[in-house]
Amino acid sequence: MLKDDALAEDATQEVFVRVMRHIQSAPEDQAALAWIYRISTNYCLNQIRDRSRQAEPVDELPDVGGAHPEAQMLDRDLAMQLVNRAPESLRAPAILYYIDGLEQEQIARTLGISRRTVINRLNDFMSRSKKFLSRDGMDGAA
């Protein structure tokens, strides 16, 4: 998610510290993995958000040859760029679904929200992405 080995190593250490700090409240069995995954995802999303607030040049979206927006979601790099432009509430479900390949029910359990909320957020993300792509002439309509 962070696209930087050093940042990923720092994130791993920070997540480990956070898990150890709250180990007494960790769930049992398979829910523990989802709990750790949620901590990791939230930490990385915060790092991405904080980085995006810094003054750094951002690469332009790649030209994908006019593919339909749903097909463009298959391109992980493009999906990550679209995620970075989305409101924070839509980022985690979009990353978990389009980039990590989790099912909607898994995302709901990981984020502690209903499946209906996951569906709504993914639909909102897709709608915003289509608008962004068509505005930039990347949907083949220009």
33 with 79, same domain: the answer is no
Supply the DSSP string of 73-140, one letter for each residue.
Answer: TT-HHHHHHHHHHS-HHHHHHHIIIIIS---HHHHHHHHTS-HHHHHHHHHHHHHHHHHHHHHTT-SS
112 with 91, same domain: the answer is yes
Token couple for 88: 């924070």
CATH number for the domain including 135?
A: 1.10.10.10
Distance CA 103, CA 33 (A): 16
Looking at residue 16, what is its pLDDT? Answer: 92
Total count of domains within the chain: 2
51 with 70, same domain: the answer is no
53 with 87, same domain: the answer is no
48 with 4, same domain: the answer is yes
26 with 80, same domain: the answer is no
> 20: domain range?
1-57
90 with 117, same domain: the answer is yes
Distance CA 43, CA 66 (A): 34
Mean pLDDT by 10 residues, the chain (142 residues): 86 91 84 87 84 56 53 64 85 84 88 91 90 68 38
141 with 93, same domain: the answer is yes
Looking at residue 71, what is its pLDDT? Answer: 57
Measured between alpha carbons, how far is residue 69 from residues 66, 136, 139 in Å? 9, 12, 7
Q: How many CB atoms lie within 10 A of CB 11?
A: 18
Distance CA 82, CA 98 (A): 11
49 with 90, same domain: the answer is no
Looking at residue 122, what is its pLDDT? Answer: 92
The answer to whether 86 touches 125, Cβ cutoff 8 Å, is yes
